[in-house]
Protein backbone atom coordinates (compact mmCIF):
# COMPACT_ATOMS: atom_id res chain seq x y z
CA UNK A 1 0.00 0.00 0.00
CA UNK A 2 1.34 3.42 -0.85
CA UNK A 3 0.76 6.61 1.02
CA UNK A 4 -0.39 9.74 -0.75
CA UNK A 5 2.16 12.49 -1.22
CA UNK A 6 2.38 15.08 1.50
CA UNK A 7 0.30 18.16 0.91
CA UNK A 8 2.14 21.24 -0.17
CA UNK A 9 2.59 23.70 2.68
CA UNK A 10 0.05 26.47 2.68
CA UNK A 11 1.35 29.91 1.92
CA UNK A 12 0.80 32.68 4.47
CA UNK A 13 -1.47 34.32 1.93
CA UNK A 14 -3.83 31.36 2.17
CA UNK A 15 -4.39 32.07 5.86
CA UNK A 16 -4.89 35.76 5.09
CA UNK A 17 -7.93 35.05 2.92
CA UNK A 18 -11.27 35.48 4.58
CA UNK A 19 -9.75 36.37 7.92
CA UNK A 20 -13.02 37.96 9.05
CA UNK A 21 -15.00 34.80 8.29
CA UNK A 22 -12.45 32.66 10.10
CA UNK A 23 -12.68 35.00 13.11
CA UNK A 24 -16.49 34.89 13.06
CA UNK A 25 -16.42 31.08 12.93
CA UNK A 26 -14.06 30.99 15.92
CA UNK A 27 -16.26 33.41 17.87
CA UNK A 28 -19.36 31.33 17.11
CA UNK A 29 -17.56 28.17 18.25
CA UNK A 30 -16.53 29.86 21.53
CA UNK A 31 -20.10 31.12 21.96
CA UNK A 32 -21.37 27.56 21.48
CA UNK A 33 -19.13 26.33 24.31
CA UNK A 34 -20.26 29.20 26.55
CA UNK A 35 -23.94 28.53 25.80
CA UNK A 36 -23.49 24.81 26.47
CA UNK A 37 -21.69 25.24 29.79
CA UNK A 38 -23.59 28.19 31.25
CA UNK A 39 -26.94 27.00 29.92
CA UNK A 40 -26.47 23.52 31.34
CA UNK A 41 -25.43 24.88 34.73
CA UNK A 42 -28.35 27.33 34.73
CA UNK A 43 -30.96 24.74 33.86
CA UNK A 44 -29.58 22.23 36.37
CA UNK A 45 -29.83 24.86 39.10
CA UNK A 46 -33.33 25.87 37.97
CA UNK A 47 -34.47 22.25 37.77
CA UNK A 48 -33.08 21.33 41.17
CA UNK A 49 -34.60 24.41 42.77
CA UNK A 50 -37.99 23.65 41.19
CA UNK A 51 -37.81 20.02 42.34
CA UNK A 52 -36.94 21.02 45.93
CA UNK A 53 -39.87 23.44 46.04
CA UNK A 54 -42.13 20.45 45.39
CA UNK A 55 -43.34 21.44 41.97
CA UNK A 56 -43.96 18.57 39.58
CA UNK A 57 -42.60 20.62 36.71
CA UNK A 58 -39.05 20.64 38.02
CA UNK A 59 -38.09 17.52 36.13
CA UNK A 60 -39.60 18.93 32.94
CA UNK A 61 -37.64 22.15 33.42
CA UNK A 62 -34.45 20.16 33.93
CA UNK A 63 -34.84 17.79 30.97
CA UNK A 64 -36.43 20.31 28.62
CA UNK A 65 -33.86 22.97 29.44
CA UNK A 66 -30.93 20.64 28.91
CA UNK A 67 -32.36 19.50 25.58
CA UNK A 68 -32.90 23.11 24.54
CA UNK A 69 -29.32 24.07 25.45
CA UNK A 70 -27.97 21.03 23.61
CA UNK A 71 -29.89 21.91 20.43
CA UNK A 72 -28.85 25.57 20.52
CA UNK A 73 -25.18 24.68 21.10
CA UNK A 74 -25.34 22.08 18.33
CA UNK A 75 -26.70 24.62 15.87
CA UNK A 76 -24.00 27.11 16.82
CA UNK A 77 -21.30 24.47 16.29
CA UNK A 78 -22.86 23.53 12.94
CA UNK A 79 -23.02 27.15 11.82
CA UNK A 80 -19.33 27.66 12.60
CA UNK A 81 -18.45 24.50 10.67
CA UNK A 82 -20.56 25.59 7.70
CA UNK A 83 -18.56 28.81 7.50
CA UNK A 84 -15.31 26.82 7.58
CA UNK A 85 -16.68 24.39 4.98
CA UNK A 86 -17.54 27.20 2.57
CA UNK A 87 -14.03 28.63 2.91
CA UNK A 88 -12.51 25.19 2.25
CA UNK A 89 -14.72 24.61 -0.80
CA UNK A 90 -13.72 27.98 -2.22
CA UNK A 91 -10.04 27.21 -1.64
CA UNK A 92 -10.28 23.78 -3.24
CA UNK A 93 -12.20 25.18 -6.19
CA UNK A 94 -9.57 27.88 -6.72
CA UNK A 95 -6.68 25.36 -6.57
CA UNK A 96 -8.47 23.00 -8.99
CA UNK A 97 -9.23 25.80 -11.44
CA UNK A 98 -5.62 26.97 -11.37
CA UNK A 99 -4.34 23.41 -11.85
CA UNK A 100 -6.64 22.92 -14.83
CA UNK A 101 -5.53 26.22 -16.28
CA UNK A 102 -1.90 25.09 -16.05
CA UNK A 103 -0.84 27.59 -13.42
CA UNK A 104 -0.04 25.05 -10.73
CA UNK A 105 -1.63 24.58 -7.35
CA UNK A 106 -0.11 27.46 -5.38
CA UNK A 107 -1.78 30.81 -5.16
CA UNK A 108 0.34 33.90 -5.76
Residue extents of the structural domains in the chain: 20-100
The stretch 64-86 carries a mean pLDDT of 96
Contacts of 108 (CB under 8 A, 6+ apart): 13
CB atoms near residue 80 (< 10 Å): 19
Where is pLDDT greater, at 23 or 46? Answer: 23
Residue pair 13/107 in contact (Cβ under 8 Å)? The answer is yes
pLDDT of residue 19 exceeding 80, the answer is yes
When mean pLDDT is compared across 19-28, 79-88, 98-107, the lowest value belongs to 98-107
pTM: 0.73
Amino acid sequence: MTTPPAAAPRSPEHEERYRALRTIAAIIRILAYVVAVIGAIGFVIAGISAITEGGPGGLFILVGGLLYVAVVALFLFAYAEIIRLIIAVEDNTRVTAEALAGRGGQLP
